[in-house]
Amino acid sequence: MGIIFQGKDKIFHLQAGDTSYCIQIEREGYLAHLYWGKRIQQFNGSNPILYVKRGFSPCPNPMDVTFSLDTLPQEYPAYGNTDFRTPAFQIQVENGSTITDLRYKSHHIYDGKPKLHGLPATYVEEDSEAETLEIYLEDSLIGLSVTLIYSVFKHLNVITRSVRFKNNGSERLILLRVLSANVDFRDDQFDLLTLYGAHNNERNIVRRQIVPGNQSIESRRGASSHQQNPFFAMLRPNANEEEGEVYGFSLVYSGNFLAQVEVDQFHTARASMGLNPFDFTWILEPTESFQAPEVVMVYSDAGLGGMSRTYHELFRTRLCRGLYRDLVRPILINNWEATYMKFTAEKLVDMAKTAKEMGIELFVLDDGWFGKRDNDKSSLGDWVVDKRKLPNGLGDLAKKINQIGLEFGLWFEPEMISVDSNLYRTHPDWCLHVPNRGRSEGRNQLVLDLSREEVCEYIIHAISTILESAPITYVKWDMNRHMTEVGSQGLPSGRQRETAHRYMLGLYKVLEEITSRFPYILFESCSGGGGRFDPGMLYYMPQTWTSDNTDAISRLKIQYGTSIVYPAITMGAHVSAVPNHQVHRVTSLAIRGEVAMGGDFGYELDVTKLSEKQRNEIKQQVTLYKNIRHIVQFGLFFRLLDPFIGNEASWMFVTEDQSEAIVSYFKVLAEPNAPLKRLKLKGLNPKFPYKCLETGRVFGGDELMYAGIGLPMLKGDFTCVFLWFKRVDSLEG
Ligand code: DGJ
């Protein structure tokens, strides 16, 4: 178990959970990829690389005409010396050449998993949880040393990869391309699954067959983005939700990324992922190092569901950090859709009082409490309370809310600046911009230049001052536009293309500082909803506002798509008013509640305007969620019916000991003469008897999973069924 170096064959055999990953030091010191898949006891070379002479595949050694990098499955391919496929990295040296030639130098295997300097990454709590292999490669001509870092989690099918570059030479190197992981699969029999979307419509699932040539997704927006999530999976064509081989790749980074799969002339597939090389360069002076972000690679032979559950467990327990990682999350009420920016202290207190009567635990004051922010045209950057709206200040409001019996939370958008702000009037050069060019606004705002130390210091100081001024136990950290005119006045001309990555490093520094200064605060990240729902942000903030779209029917797809990688405990999900503010659909409180209970539950509507009947219904929802949240937030997640392919959706959660489960079934549109529905459950123990708390009936886990449970005939559009099962002593009940 762990990492073995088979010296005779020069094979590194990495074992993670039920997975093996094998690398060989090949002829001339090149690193070849041998195998990644189901665990093998000992790799004895049953899967050797065959050397054959191929036309138009040149050879680095003219004496060895069967050996070409063009045909070698490689671990970290370079550019310029016989491999014509996409390189994992590219470097320019002072004479203008962009050719490199990396050879094996040495390696080191050790217990534990290293931190990545300045970057978020998965971690271990005990060194015994993981083992790490560092392979040192060198291009001796230019003094470049490259460290490939692999960590294997012993009890999970997870291998993480990252790369560190060091300039050991005497001349300046320019990094043009630095991907973090490259896997040369030995064939091309795969489908590619990615998560695409838009604002209000995040993480739709698309699956396509890979074809010869390049297929890629990327972000050039300065954020991981609503448009493409930094994730992809390669699935064997027969793989489905429960069966078949799936290979997942997830980048722990929140900025520009590239993920691509290239099928070459020999029908092999090269999968690679990392920082987007588009508009990126990085100057590496002698003695300097550059650390690339981490890619989390998951293997599953139990289909997509198996892959998702591995990501869920890893991200919930070894990516998210802090006090709230292991705590149930509070049920919150957020005033955004209730009041937008038009509120008074009295109104907020009234909302909190009603929320308390319904059992809600946390009140969140959203945008509009600072500067002179009556609309989105001003005040970002001026983190000073607006005394017109809150005459007695934030401390007083927070205390009142606390006295009512709720915790108090606050919204910020720290990375932004409004042109109409004191901050901009004082520091017009603090935003990302290019001299003499226009400054394009998005949502009437500009992006602060977090590649600059003084800007980061300002944010840390301004946000900390507010957080120290009142009993605040929750923060929503928003970010509402993407980057344009990407340039920094803090960097010389040769380093302008470092700006976007330096921004991310600045942001991570700020987040590290603020989250460690205020360890008792629950942080939720947000970017116009789920525009930065990525592992990088989850490292600092253990939950994310999943989407600005709170419509229950839209949320079926959004939450289902998000669940491909991210666990329910990371997904903020709220009940909002109808007609829904984003899509104007009218749905019942019941379905809005049940959909939102698939994540970190909350409300986002004016509770003071509800009828008594509605308040009672909410009271019941809140009580129910308090009773089941340990199952949703810490249980195993199973997708049952896919909303992307039908009129229905269904998912379920099962506690780790399989003693409790909850099932949600949703039907979008009513059907005339609909077939009778049986729903087959998953993840239960076939030997356990379970009582359905809604009907009082007892069934064996085997019956529920193999024969399924009959669902009632549903009438009308947008309907749902909720079932809660508890293990009982016998099938007699
Ligand atoms: C976008 C967020 O996603 C919303 O929930 C809300 O906080 C607004 N910003 C406030 O401006």
Question: Strand, helix or coil at 166?
Answer: strand
CA angle 728, 730, 733 (to 5 degrees): 70
What spacing in Å lies between the alpha carbon of 384 and ligand 1's midpoint?
19
What per-residue confidence (pLDDT) applies to 732? Answer: 86
The encoded tokens of residue 587 equal 């749905």
Cβ(386) to ligand 1 under 6 A? no
Task: Kindly indicate the confidence band of residue 1, based on its pLDDT and cuts at 50, 70 and 90.
Answer: low
**Ligand 1 atom closest to residue 526's alpha carbon, by position in its atom list:** 3
State pTM to two decimals.
Answer: 0.98
301-to-199, 249, 306 alpha-carbon distances in Å: 33, 15, 7
| Residue 367 in contact with ligand 1 by CB distance below 6 A | yes
Assess contact for 411 and 369: CB atoms under 8 A: yes
Structure tokens at 670: 């009513």
Average pLDDT over residues 218-229: 98
Give dist(CA 202, CA 223) in Å, integer.
14
Give the mean pLDDT of the chain.
97
| CB 526 less than 6 A from any atom of ligand 1 | yes
Is 478 tagged catalytic?
yes
Q: Which segment of 42-51, 114-123, 648-657, 685-694 scores lowest on mean pLDDT?
A: 42-51
199, 411, 544: residue to mutate for ligand 1 pocket, most atoms within 8 A of CB: 411
Question: Distance from first CA to last CA of the chain, Å, rounded?
Answer: 43
> Would strands 689-692 and 678-679 be described as parallel, antiparallel, or unpaired?
unpaired
- Reported as a single tens digit per residue, the pLDDT across 267-282 is 999 999 999 999 999 9
**Of 547, 546, 550, whose CA–CA distance to 583 is shortest?**
550
CA 72 – ligand 1 centroid, Å: 49
Q: Quick one: pLDDT at residue 40?
A: 95
User: Phi-psi region for residue 628, left (φ > 0), alpha (ψ -120 to 50) or beta?
Assistant: alpha
Alpha carbon of 315 to those of 131, 246, 620, 635: distances in Å? 18, 18, 31, 13
Distance CA(579)–CA(585), nearest Å, equals: 5
Neighbour count for residue 731 (Cβ, 10 Å): 13
Residue labelled with tokens 């992006």 = 447
Q: Is 138 in the pocket of ligand 1 (CB under 6 A)?
A: no
Name residues whose C-beta falls within 8 Å of residue 97's C-beta, 6 or more positions apart in sequence. 80
Catalytic residue (choose from 301, 478, 534, 600): 478
Span 578-637, pLDDT tens digits: 999 999 999 999 999 999 999 999 999 999 999 999 999 999 999 999 999 999 999 999
Q: Is 98 exposed, middle or buried (0-12, 13-18, 19+ CB in 10 A)?
A: middle
Is residue 683 in contact with ligand 1, taking CB distance under 6 Å? no
Distances in Å between the Cα of 179 and the Cα atoms of 258, 354, 589 are: 8, 52, 46
Band the pLDDT of 46: cuts 50, 70, 90. Answer: confident
Half-sphere CA count of 168, side-chain side, radius 13 A = 13
For residue 49, pLDDT over 90 is answered with: no
Helices then strands, each counted (H, E), the chain:
12, 38
Is 511's pLDDT higher than 80?
A: yes
Ligand 1 close to Cβ of residue 412 (< 6 A): no
Q: How far is CA 30 from CA 57, 69, 135, in A?
A: 16, 9, 12
Report pLDDT digits (tens) over 83-137.
999 999 999 999 999 999 999 999 999 999 999 999 999 999 999 999 999 999 9
CA distance 63 to 16: 39
Binning pLDDT at 50, 70 and 90, where does residue 543 land? Answer: very high
Task: Tell me the pLDDT band of 50, cut-offs 50, 70 and 90.
Answer: confident
The b-or-e profile of 46-84 (16+ CB within 10 A means b, else e) is: eeebeeeeeeebebeeeeeeebbbbbbbbbbbbbebbbe
691-701 burial: b if 16+ Cβ within 10 Å, else e:
bbeeeeebbbb
Does residue 62 have a cis bond before it (omega within 30 degrees)?
no
> Mean pLDDT throughout 192-215?
98
Say whether 208 sits in a helix, a strand or coil: strand
- Residue 9 falls in the annotated catalytic set: no
Please compute the mean of the pLDDT values over residues 644-669 and round it to a whole number.
97
Measured CA to CA, the distance from residue 270 to residue 187 in angstroms comes to 9
Give the pLDDT confidence score for residue 44 in this predicted structure: 87
Q: Which letter does DSSP use for residue 173 in this model?
A: E
If one counts every other C-beta atom within 10 angstroms of the C-beta of residue 715, the result is 9
* pLDDT at residue 703 greater than cutoff 70: yes
Identity of the residue numbered 603: Y
- Burial track 222-257 (b if 16+ CB lie within 10 A, e otherwise): bbbbbbbbbbbbbbbeebebebbbbbbbbbbbbbbb
Whether residue 370 is predicted with pLDDT greater than 80 in this model: the reply is: yes
Angle at 407 between CA 405 and CA 410, to 5 degrees: 145
Query: Ligand 1: which residue has its CA nearest to atom 5?
Result: 548
- 251 touches 231 (CB < 8 A): yes
Cα–Cα distance for residue pair 20/23, rounded to 1 Å: 10
- The pLDDT of 148-152, averaged and rounded, is 98
pLDDT at residue 78, rounded to an integer: 97
Q: Where are the beta strands (DSSP E) in 499-538?
A: 522-525
Mean pLDDT of 207-224: 98
CA of 275 to the centre of ligand 1 (A): 27
Cα pseudo-dihedral 720, 726, 727, 728, rounded to 10: -110
Whether 528 lines ligand 1, by a CB cut-off of 6 Å, is yes
Mean per-residue pLDDT for 198-225?
Answer: 98
- Residue 733: Cβ-neighbour burial (10 angstroms; 0-12, 13-18, 19+): exposed
- Does position 498 have pLDDT exceeding 80, yes or no? yes
Atom number, ligand 1, closest to the C-alpha of residue 527 = 3
Exposure pattern of 585-594 as b/e (b: 16+ CB <10 Å)? Answer: eebbbbbbbb
Nearest CA to ligand 1 atom 2: 528
Q: For ligand 1, what atom is nearest to the CA of residue 366?
A: 7
Cα-to-centroid distance, 499 and ligand 1 (Å): 26
Under a CB-based contact definition with an 8 Å cutoff, are residues 337 and 343 in contact? no
